[in-house]
Chain A
């Protein structure tokens, strides 16, 4: 089983929609 931590943390890019943490509960 591979680790998905390589791409952590997701990068915020100004002007682009932020979808780094899609599982946020309101």
Chain B
């Protein structure tokens, strides 16, 4: 798969840009967190496209962002379940 560039992304409509980024991010995230990949990808798509492009080029920054997202997701899920069980 050829690397995604800013000009390739800019050629697509805004809504489709997130779709394209998501399709690139998902398999990378799935390799690390198969059960949370969809949710984590959804979270990361909140980030600016330019930053997402940089993350796709830099596995280290992508990995740290994924771990950050997992931590946020776990806290969120814990607070949701404590609300429900209260």
Min CB–CB distance B25 → chain A (angstroms): 8
For B, the interface residue count at a CB cutoff of 8 angstroms equals 20
Judging by beta carbons under 8 Å apart, are B43 and A14 in contact? Answer: no
Inter-chain contacts of B45 with A (CB < 8 A):
12, 18, 20-21
CA A14 to CA B24, docked complex, whole Å? 9
The interface residues of chain B, by DSSP majority, are classed as helix
Cross-chain contact B14 with A18 (CB below 8 angstroms) = no
Query: A-B pairs with the 9 shortest C-beta distances?
Result: A12-B41, A11-B38, A26-B14, A9-B42, A18-B19, A9-B43, A10-B42, A12-B22, A12-B42
22 pairs from A and B in contact (CB 8 Å cutoff): A6-B80, A8-B76, A9-B42, A9-B43, A9-B46, A11-B38, A12-B26, A12-B38, A12-B41, A12-B42, A12-B45, A13-B38, A14-B22, A17-B19, A18-B15, A18-B18, A18-B19, A18-B45, A19-B15, A21-B45, A24-B14, A26-B14
